[in-house]
Structure 1
Amino acid sequence: GLGTSDYVAQLSIQIKTNLYAKTESGAAESCDDFTDLDLSHCFIGTTLYVRLLLYTRSNLDCGRELNHHRLSSQPLFNLSRPTTFVIHGYRPTGAPPIWIDHIVHLLAEQEDMNVIVVDWNRGAANLNYFTAVANTRQAAYNLTSFIMTMQEEGASLSSVHLIGVSLGAHLAGFVGANLKGRIGRITGLDPAGPMFTGATPEDRLDPTDAMFVDVLHTDMNSFGLRGAHGHIDYYANGGADQPGCPKTIFAGKSYFVCDHQRSVFLFLCALNRTCSLTGYPCTSYSDFLDGRCLQCEAFKPAPCPVLGYDVSRWRDALLRLGQTKVYFSTTATLPYRSESDALYRVDMVTWNQYLRWGVVYIRLHSGRNYTEARVDHKLIRLEQYTSTRLLAQFDEDLQPVQKISMRISTGNVIGPRYKIRLLRIRLTPLERPDRPLMCRYDIIMEENMEVAFRPLPCSARL
């Protein structure tokens, strides 16, 4: 799978390594860096100390530590700009998060803002996770006090955005609750599960903590929190196991952290606009994979919600709808999903004499090129006059589609190959509604054997 070092190497951002910046007078001035601890600190234990590192477009590569009380003494800190706080989670080794520089740069690209990295490494770096959990409350009071000072000096709470990762998502929630839910937005990236499973809304992130709360889930069956905890909850690949992440403990550290970290990498990819992560409202991931939840009527004239920074197109609808769950699938590696992918809903009606169960493979051909989708999240039931709906995701958006080939693998390797009759099949391009639907009628195929056909325009009876 894609390791964290591979991911960072692939991000198309040039992060400068200067430890010094030039002031207007030309003199060198040292930068304030994220606290770097090691395992010895984690063994001994750390005492909570919160540092706030300010980055703006004029000092993207050189953080400035803010005084918690004298904000007017910081010329770079313009309270008329929106302010985004980035809050990391539990740091069992004490090392700085590898994604900090990347998220600072990408946020600054979205709009002219203050980006403040909340460095509570002294408090999060501890081999005792329970101590770090306890420290989130105190760190939240510290940050709450700072935001109240901002408000007193003219900042608007509605322009404040907290982005919390893992344990940092709950810390953000506590800050929001302290401020009576009046801050503009909280984004939770795979909120921590251990010690928060079964907690009341007062003891974890929940939708009342901000005017708008969006949450991304990637590891609900381990380090992440199950359930829905925002106005909108995005579930990547169902919110649990992520493609490309190790499935066995023999992979070492990556086995434990890969799924959990994927939330950060997906969000970075969305900020960088190299990923197109569209979420479809649905009650479950299984229903999503079955193609039952691919309509976004509630958001019209806007399209389906997309993971990322700008939520203005869907915000009012989501606040009206209440808590909304949306699902999307990704590939194993960058860019996870892009504009070059293609998502189709496949509707087919089968007629065969004997009940068969199988996995469906579909290929789209354009000239000598083809792209394949494998629908294997469950065995599909094929029997007399059965209507089946599937979701097929292709890595390439080939156009024009000149030929479609299809195979139904039943696992039958001995005995006769049974025939399967497709009375009709229809492919609907989901993300490009301007394109015509593709159909074909009355196809005879054998199990485990590929059949090819040219698509036809769909008639009104479909």
Structure 2
Amino acid sequence: MFLWQYLTLLQLTTVQIYKAQRCEEFTDLHLGHAIIGTRLKVRLLLYTRENGTCGTLVSHTDLSAHPQFNLSRPTTFVIHGYRPTGSPPVWVQQIAELLLAREDLNVIVVDWNHGASNVNYFKAVENTYNAANNLTAFIKMLQGRGASLSSIHMIGISLGAHMSGLIGANLNGSIGRITALDPAGPQFTGNPPEHRLDPTDAQFVDVLHTDIDALGFREPLGHIDFYANGGADQPGCPKTIFSGGSYFRCDHQRSVFLFLESVERTCVSRAFPCSSYKDFLDGNCLNCDRFGAAGCPVFGYDVTDWKEVLLRLGQTKTYFTTNTDSPFCRTNYRLEVMIWNKDVQWGYITVKLHGNGKEAVATIDHKAPKFQKYTETNLLAQFDKDLQSVEKVSLKFSSANVFKHKYKLRVLRIRLTHLERKERPLCRYDILLEENKAFTFRPISCEESNF
């Protein structure tokens, strides 16, 4: 009898240990579920530094079974969007791990795949509102147990961005921050603020736009709105429908990968306030004086360093460009060119920087700038990487006219100014650029004492 009792106790103990160590996974559905349609079910997966790779399913009403949920820590909610095929987002585990590497948090991945997986997009939109009410009740429960609403950060993707806004509105804009990654456009464009995300939904709302011409929302929605590559076609994404599903999701999904890179601090994307993407590319929006010594804001996780000045300035639209893949960030220079050709010249400029065995390239070809005698032409040169030391510079000029004879650009002065590092600009004087031929030189510090 004693042996039987001992074995039974050992078996029960083993089962309890197994349950305690069990990792909850994000709901994995398939296209069949989406075709039939799924009813809304909201699951909350908790990750902390104690269980950074192992999600724990959290009760909506009782935290007593979750000692690792520390109410004195800030809490970050991650809310996904529409899932037409039912598969889990590829970034779920990565975003939890990166957030926890940055701060000691309660990270809650909101799994509403049952509800988001539906070929009927309108039903998924309806479920967005219902899920928002569900999460509002959970956050009120946290607040009742002593959690501070100011320490809550909601990261919402697509439909999840508007869900975050609805939750924030339910809580009278008291939560600390909402980060909206390419908020959904269909069924939300044209809606009044109470039915979508808007700046009053949190103490600070930052928004990234990457697909405004298809799945995303075009107009500003936050205290600061970032438009990556103008907010539409993202470099490296397919341009035709023949690429399959990636054609539809790549631009939209790029928002998540840009944000992940900002959390990881792989590199920094400086964003410039401007009225339009065209003006930004033309180099008309490079003055960051209004932001003080910190300069223009950086996109992503650390934009809260500019929170106070952004709240004072009101809604701010900013632009930045990216590379085709990671690291996505680019390095910005002001390029000033003065020529002494008798006739006006039009053309494109390619600049290469060389240093420490590396090369950085910037091609200014969004339009053909105008070069006029003794008149300074200001251009924005965006390089694919940052070189700490520039030893040589290569320039190539290509005219906009492909039918006439080859042109020569007689440059009186060229000046390159790094827009983020406070260092003396690089110059070169009196050079001749033959069309489509690279001219390489060693730059010198510009003669002006005031730069």
TM-score, normalization by structure 2: 0.91
Match of 2:28 among 21, 33, 36: 36
Report the Cα distance in structure 1 between the residues aligned to 2:18 and 2:26, rounded to whole angstroms: 25
Q: 1:336 to 1:456 in 2, by over 3 A?
A: same
Q: Match of 2:164, SS? A: helix
Q: Is the 8 A contact 2:337 2:376 kept in 1?
A: yes
- The aligned counterpart of 2:437 is 449
Q: Secondary structure of 2:262's partner?
A: helix
Query: Which residue is equivalent to 1:190?
Result: 182
Return the alpha-carbon distance in structure 1 between the equivalents of residues 358 and 69 of structure 2: 53
Give the direction of change, closer, same or farther, for the CA distance of 1:37–1:398 in structure 2 (3 Å limit): closer
Q: Deviations over 1:109-154 (max 9, x none)?
A: 1111111111111111100001101111111011001101111111
Q: Could you tell me which of 268, 275, 279 is aligned with 2:271?
A: 279
Computed over aligned residues only, the root mean square deviation of the Cα atoms, in angstroms, reads: 2.2
**For structure 1, which segment, 266-275 or 350-359, has the greater mean C-alpha deviation from structure 2 after superposition?**
350-359
Q: 1:385 and 1:185, CA in 2 relative to 1: closer, same or farther beyond 3 A?
A: same
Q: Secondary structure at the match of 1:145?
A: helix
1:356 aligns with 2:345: yes
- Structure 2 residue identity aligned to 1:90: Y
Q: Which amino acid aligns with 2:188?
A: F
1:16-415 equivalences under 5 Å are: 29-337=21-329, 342-366=331-355, 370-398=359-387, 400-410=389-399, 412=401, 415=404
Between 161-170 and 370-379, the greater mean CA deviation after superposition: 370-379
C-alpha displacement at 1:25, in angstroms? 6.2
Shift of residue 232 of structure 1?
A: 1.0
Partner of residue 17, structure 1: none
Does the 8 A contact of 1:85 with 1:115 survive in 2? yes
Any conservation in 1 of the 2:182–2:255 contact (CA below 8 Å)?
yes
SS at structure 2 position matched to 1:72: coil
2:413 is equivalent to residue 421 of structure 1: no
Residues 312 and 369 of structure 1: is their aligned pair in 2 closer, same or farther, counting only changes over 3 Å?
closer
Q: Secondary structure at the match of 1:343?
A: strand
**Contact 1:271–1:308 (8 Å) recurs in 2:** yes
Of stretches 239-248 and 450-459 in structure 1, the one that deviates more from structure 2 is 450-459
Which deviates more, 219-228 or 366-375?
366-375
Q: Match for residue 19 of structure 1?
A: none
Please state how far the C-alpha of 1:196 moved relative to its aligned partner. Answer: 1.3
Q: List alignment gaps of at least 5 residues for structure 1.
A: 1-21
Q: Which moved more, 1:36-45 or 1:447-456?
A: 447-456
Larger Rg: 2
Paired residue for 1:437?
A: 425
Q: 1:39 to 1:413 in 2, by over 3 A?
A: closer
Deviation at 1:452, TM superposition (A): 3.5
Q: Structure 2: 5+ residue runs without aligned partners? A: 1-13
Could you list the per-position Cα deviations for residues 246-285 of structure 1 after superposition, in whole angstroms to 9, with x for gaps in the alignment?
1111111111111110000111111111131221222222
CA distance in 2, matches of 1:42, 1:27: 30
| Matched AA of 1:273 | R
Classify the secondary structure of the residue corresponding to 2:155.
strand
CA distance in 1, matches of 2:111, 2:170: 20
Over 3 Å counting, the alpha-carbon distance change for 1:228 and 1:413 in structure 2 is closer
Q: Provide the rounded CA distance (Å) in 1 between the counterparts of 2:121 and 2:404.
A: 58
Distance 1:398 1:272 in 2: 20
Partner of 2:7: none
Deviates more, 1:383-392 or 1:95-104: 383-392
